[in-house]
Amino acid sequence: MLIVVTEKEILQIFKDSGALLDGHFILTSGNHSPHYIEKFRVLEHPVYTEMLCKELAHKFAKDNITLVVGPMTGGILLSYEVGKNLNTKAIFTERIDGKMKFRRGFTVKSDDRVLIVEDIISTGGSVQEVIDEVKKYKAEIIGVCCLIDRSGGKVDFGIPLKPLVKMDVVSYSPEEVPEWLQKIPVTKPGSTGK
């Protein structure tokens, strides 16, 4: 049975897990931000992961999804759980020579109805790479879902994007980092085990 979880409840899960961090962070995009969402603090709790993925799957339950795809790393866990809830296959892309690609014998059929699942969307770069990779197989991409869209809805893939939570989190290009943020020691999440 699905229990619909509100945005407020989802944010509380992230807070309770210690996933919402303040400081000075360099994001995957190379931009700097005073806020970071460490999704693995949430994903290390299987009960939370299962509950959140049920919510993601529910958003596309009537769309006859035949394949769920997620980018490595967080997208692997999410695609598996969403695929389980949609009773379909789940695969993932990996970064090879700087580009998202399918490996391990994964294939996409031209008649697949694909849902792309991501953990956190900031600029949408990784998801766009997955979209481009799936398009090579001429499959129909039904939509994208994610735990948190930290762009505040600014990212547009030309297909439905359904996040559990929309947040407008400020980020700055390396040339535009304000002086107050420059005074805070920089952390690059994921690069040093922090």
Structural domain for 104, as ranges? 7-182
Is 194 domain-assigned?
no
Cα 31 to Cα 134: distance, rounded to the nearest angstrom? 27
Is 187 domain-assigned?
no
Is 72 domain-assigned?
yes
Please state, for a pLDDT cut of 70, what percent of the chain lies above it. Answer: 95
Is 1 domain-assigned?
no
| pLDDT confidence tier of residue 4, bands split at 50, 70 and 90 | low
pLDDT at 131 over 80: yes
Cα 124 to Cα 71: distance, rounded to the nearest angstrom? 12
Task: Give the chain's domain count.
Answer: 1
Strand order in the sheet with 140-149: 99-102, 89-96, 67-71, 113-121, 140-149, 161-166
Is 161 domain-assigned?
yes
Give CA angle at 144 (104, 115), nearest 5°: 50
Is 190 domain-assigned?
no
What mean pLDDT is predicted for residues 108-125?
A: 93
What does the buried/exposed string (b/e) look like for 58-91 if buried means 16 or more CB atoms within 10 Å of the residue's CB? Answer: bbbeeeebbbbbbbeebbbbbbbbbbebbebbbb
Residue 148 dihedral angles phi and psi, to the nearest 5°: -135, 130
Is 2 domain-assigned?
no
CATH code of residue 19: 3.40.50.2020
pLDDT at position 62, please?
96
Mean pLDDT over the full length of the chain: 90
pLDDT at position 3, please?
58
Asked whether the beta carbons of 30 and 69 are under 8 A apart, the reply is: no
pTM of the model: 0.86
Is 192 domain-assigned?
no
What mean pLDDT is predicted for residues 90-115?
A: 93
pLDDT at 165 over 50: yes
